[in-house]
Amino acid sequence: MKGNDRLNKNESKYFNTAVKMNMALIEFLKTKPFEFITVSEICKKAGVNRSTFYLHYENTKDLLEETVKKMSGDFVLYFIPDGKISPIDFDNVPKEKLFFITEKYLMPYLLYFKENRKIFLTLLENRELFGFEEIYKKLYDNIFNPILNRFRYPEGERKYVMAFYLNGINSIITEWIKDDCAKPEEEIIKIINDCIFGLNNY
Identify whether 76 is part of a domain.
no
Report whether 10 contacts 42 (CB < 8 A).
no
Triad 47, 122, 37: Cα angle to 5°: 35
The predicted structure's pLDDT at residue 86: 56
* CATH (domain of 8): 1.10.357.10
pLDDT score recorded for residue 5:
42
pTM over 0.85: no
User: Within this chain, do residues 102 and 187 fall inside the same structural domain, yes or no?
Assistant: yes
What's the confidence (pLDDT) of residue 170? 83
- pLDDT, residue 130, reads 57
- In this structure, are 42 and 123 located in the same domain? no
Note whether 178 and 101 are same-domain residues.
Answer: yes
Residues 146, 181: one domain?
yes
Q: How many domains does the chain fold into?
A: 2
189 and 134 within one domain: yes
The reply to whether 80 falls in a domain is: no
Task: Mark whether 181 and 95 lie in a shared domain.
Answer: yes
124 lies in the same domain as 174: yes
**More confident site: 9 or 90:** 90
**Packing angle, helices 39-46 and 60-79, rounded to 10:** 50
The pLDDT value recorded for residue 53 is 93
- Determine the pLDDT at residue 49: 92
What's the confidence (pLDDT) of residue 126?
Answer: 60
The DSSP 8-state label assigned to residue 81 in this structure reads T
Q: Is 115 among the domain residues?
A: yes
Report yes or no on 198 lying in a domain: yes
In a domain, 79, yes or no: no
The 10s digit of each residue's pLDDT in 113-154 is 888 887 777 776 666 555 666 667 777 887 788 888 888 899
Instruction: Clarify whether residues 57 and 106 are in a common domain.
Output: no
- Give one DSSP letter per residue of 1-60, joined into a string: --HHHHHHHHHHHHHHHHHHHHHHHHHHHTTS-GGG--HHHHHHHHT--HHHHHHH-SSH
Which residue, 63, 79, 103, sits at the end of a domain? 63
What pLDDT shows up at residue 165? 85
According to the model, what pLDDT value does residue 172 have? 92
Tens digits of residue pLDDT in 154-187? 999 998 988 888 888 888 988 999 898 999 999 9
Residue 177: give the domain boundaries. 88-202
CA 18/CA 82 separation, integer angstroms: 23
Residue 22 sits in the same domain as residue 100? no
Q: In this structure, is residue 69 part of a structural domain?
A: no
Query: Distance (Å, rounded) from C-alpha 122 to C-alpha 34?
Result: 7
126 Cβ contact partners less than 8 Å away, ≥ 6 residues apart: 34, 64
Distance CA 103, CA 149 (A): 23
147 assigned to some structural domain? yes
Q: What is the pLDDT of residues 36-73, one digit of tens each?
A: 999 999 999 999 999 999 988 999 988 988 887 777 66
In a domain, 160, yes or no: yes
Same domain for 92 and 52: no
